[in-house]
């Protein structure tokens, strides 16, 4: 690899990649080759990537030729993008959700996300490791572990720092500059938490902004795909490529007239001067001293940049005892619907068969058991149980009406500022509302978790808003990013 290009690719953003491609200073084929070489050099210990697309080089060559003959399709033309291993791609790559039971499963059609990326000219570079079944395997499974790919490690402290889940590989790979950007998925914290832990930007969109068709599901009322990138600008570029109504996903009907195909006009760092941001201190209560200090520094920065800070604000839902029945019930129904459509050659076509397969291959499939799968199988799979209906109604009533919407309206806020951990994600997940996380600081000490991980290292702040408020959140996040520039490359 050319030494100069090898140095350039580290932290290169999509805009500058496009400038270099247009000037002929580099080709998409060379971009792919550089990332493949970096993967081969560094990912052996990180285990962030399950497989590289064997057709990536040929696709890049074709896109280079198209650029020469017809010009560029847009900002993603010829850009290598990684996808989480629960996103269907109709090619030679597999889609397994990290499970050995689906290790040989190839999709019969592209997911809506993959199809949109291809249409935009992106190169699907590879599939990233993830917490198996998006973490819904057992209550003891380690974040970032899958029976197919092993344990993904945080590039800032491999084997020591918490990597976050379940889009662990998508976060670690982007952090380590193994791809231009990636697509993750989130049900509750699965984009935001690993993005925060790996010093990158993650956008968890409003449920329905991006189609879930062709994505191995967890719970349809909360699932969404979203961009993970090294900058707010790159995440905004990716987001615009993924939006749009899809008849295969009825939730996307709500996005009509609410979505944009280009979110880059919202990269406005001056917006902070008029922003009103609330500080819900209740969600800071479990932070250790260092991470609380990072949050306090972020508040001070926002205030210094001209934002109006309301410290603190209270949400009526703060003392609610949340149920977890929505995910438990929806998982069985949604997964069964997905598995039933797989080719006959695949050994599992229902959750019951997944459990049986794991029992029959316990030596490789059950390192952490499958207690959560078993609990989900106990439901009817019809979504008719009253306990499920009550839990879903609770989520919408308290997370939306007596939660995020209430406090935003009461104080005329543009957003809430939350920590980049599960406390900052769960409420928005239940509401189906958007979040964006931005690197905010580095914890030198941290605390040790029950799993033995140390929570020190990168940490992000999270901006939360109401449904389809992505433009406002991008404005705020971009302003904060431009005022701080906390991100730096991991010492690989």
Active site residues: 84, 166, 190
47 alpha-carbon distance from chain centroid: 17
C-alpha distances in Å from residue 43, one per residue of 50, 85, 177: 10, 16, 10
End-to-end alpha carbon distance in the chain: 17
Separation of alpha carbons 492 and 489, rounded Å: 8
At a CB cut-off of 8 Å and minimum separation 6, what does 221 contact?
A: 207, 326, 330, 392, 395, 432
β-partners of residue 442 are 458
Can you give the three-state secondary structure of the chain, one letter per residue?
Answer: CCHHHHHHHCCCCHHHHHHHHHCCCCCHHHHHHHHHHHHHHHHHHHCCEEEECCCHHHHHHHHHHHHHHHCCCCCCCCCEEEEECCECCCCCCCCCCCCHHHCCCCCCCCCHHHHHHHHCCCEEEEEECCCHHHHCCCCCCCCCEECCCEECCCCCCCCCECCCCCCHHHHHHHHCCCCCEEEEEECCCCCHHHHHHCCCEEEECCCCCCCCCCECCCCCCCCEEEEEECCHHHHHHHHHHHCCCECCEHHHHHHCCCCCCCCHHHCCHHHHHHCEEEECHHHHCCCCHHHHHHHHHHHHHHHHCCCEEEECCCCHHHHCCCCCHHHHHHHHHHHHHHHCCCCCCCCCCCHHHHHHHHHHCHHHHCCCCCHHHHHHHCCCCCCCCHHHHHHHHHHHHHHHHHHHHHHHHHHCCCEEEEECCHHHCHHHHHHCCCEEEEEEEEECCCCECCCCCECCEEEEEEEECCCCCHHHHHHHHHHHHHHHCCCCCCCC
β-partners of residue 277 are 309, 415
Separation of alpha carbons 355 and 64, rounded Å: 46
- Estimate the crossing angle of helix 14-22 against helix 232-242, to 10 degrees: 80
Separation of alpha carbons 373 and 355, rounded Å: 7
């Amino acid at each position: 690899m050319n030494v100069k290009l090898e140095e350039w690719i580290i932290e290169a953003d999509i805009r500058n990649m496009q400038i270099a491609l247009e000037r002929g200073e580099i080709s998409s084929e060379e971009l792919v080759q550089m990332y493949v070489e970096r993967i081969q050099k560094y990912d052996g210990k990180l285990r962030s990537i399950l497989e590289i697309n064997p057709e990536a080089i040929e696709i890049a060559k074709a896109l280079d030729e198209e650029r020469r003959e017809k010009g560029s399709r847009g900002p993603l033309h010829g850009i290598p993008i990684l996808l989480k291993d629960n996103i269907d791609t109709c090619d030679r790559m597999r889609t397994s959700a990290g499970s050995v039971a689906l290790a040989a499963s190839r999709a019969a059609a592209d997911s809506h996300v993959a199809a949109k990326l291809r249409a935009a000219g992106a190169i699907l570079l590879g599939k990233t490791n993830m917490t198996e079944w998006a973490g819904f395997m057992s209550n003891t499974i380690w974040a970032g572990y899958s029976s197919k790919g092993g344990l993904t490690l945080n590039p800032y402290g491999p084997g020591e720092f918490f990597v976050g889940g379940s889009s662990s590989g998508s976060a670690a790979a982007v952090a380590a500059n193994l791809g231009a950007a990636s697509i993750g998925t989130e049900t509750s914290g699965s984009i935001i938490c690993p993005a925060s832990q790996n010093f990158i930007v993650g956008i968890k969109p409003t449920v329905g902004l991006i189609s879930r068709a062709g994505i191995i599901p967890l719970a349809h009322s909360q699932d969404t795909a979203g961009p993970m990138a090294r900058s707010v600008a790159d995440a905004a570029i990716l987001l615009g490529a993924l939006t749009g109504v899809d008849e295969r996903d009825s939730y996307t009907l709500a996005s009509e007239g609410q979505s944009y195909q280009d979110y880059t006009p919202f990269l406005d760092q001056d917006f902070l001067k008029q922003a009103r941001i609330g500080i819900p201190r209740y969600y800071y209560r479990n932070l250790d001293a260092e991470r609380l200090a990072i949050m306090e520094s972020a508040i001070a920065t926002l205030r210094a940049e001209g934002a109006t800070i309301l410290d603190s604000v209270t949400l009526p839902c703060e003392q609610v005892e949340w149920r977890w029945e929505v995910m438990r019930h929806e998982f069985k129904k949604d997964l069964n619907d997905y598995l039933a459509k797989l080719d006959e050659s695949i050994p599992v076509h229902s959750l019951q068969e997944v459990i049986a397969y794991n029992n029959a291959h316990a030596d490789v499939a059950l390192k952490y058991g499958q207690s959560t799968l078993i609990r989900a199988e106990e439901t009817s799979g019809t979504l008719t149980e009253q306990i499920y209906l009550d839990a879903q109604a609770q989520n919408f009533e308290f997370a939306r009406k007596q939660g995020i919407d209430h406090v935003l309206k009461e104080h005329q806020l543009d957003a809430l500022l939350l920590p980049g951990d599960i406390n900052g994600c769960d409420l928005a997940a239940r509401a189906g509302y958007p979040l964006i996380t931005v690197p905010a600081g580095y914890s030198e000490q941290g605390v040790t978790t029950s799993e033995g991980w140390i929570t020190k290292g990168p940490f992000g702040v999270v901006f939360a808003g109401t449904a389809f408020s992505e433009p406002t959140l991008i404005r705020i996040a971009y302003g904060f990013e431009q005022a701080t520039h906390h991100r730096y490359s991991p010492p690989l």
